[in-house]
Amino acid sequence: MSALRSQFGAGLKELRVQFCQTSPSSSGLRDFIAKNYSSIKSANPNLPILIREASGAEARIFARFDKGIEQKIVFQNKASEEIEKTLAQLVKSA
């Protein structure tokens, strides 16, 4: 988790998190956000992290980088640990 609790690279401009508040397929992403949001935001106070809950929404994260480049990662039925590993790789690419 150290990569996620440390400061993200300057190339990452925004994170948008979307999931369903009741769906079992979104439970991993909900758990990840509940456990890690505070530490990620503390390490990156100027990074906008937008969290959207919508009934039936697909569990996913959009990362916006320099020059308007966006990357979408789908986390349907993924465990919190898998989400952590994937986001750590994303942070390294920023």
Angle at 94 between CA 75 and CA 14, to 5 degrees: 65
Domain 12-93 falls in which CATH fold? Answer: Glutaredoxin (3.40.30)
Residues in the chain: 94
| Start-to-end CA span in the chain (Å) | 17
> What does the domain layout of the chain look like in residue ranges?
12-93
Task: Name the band, by pLDDT with cuts 50, 70 and 90, for residue 94.
Answer: low
Quick one: pLDDT at residue 3? 53
- pLDDT tens per residue across span 7-17: 677 788 999 99
Q: List C-alpha distances in Å: 68 to 13, 34, 42, 64, 72.
A: 9, 28, 25, 6, 13
Between 18 and 5, whose confidence is greater?
18
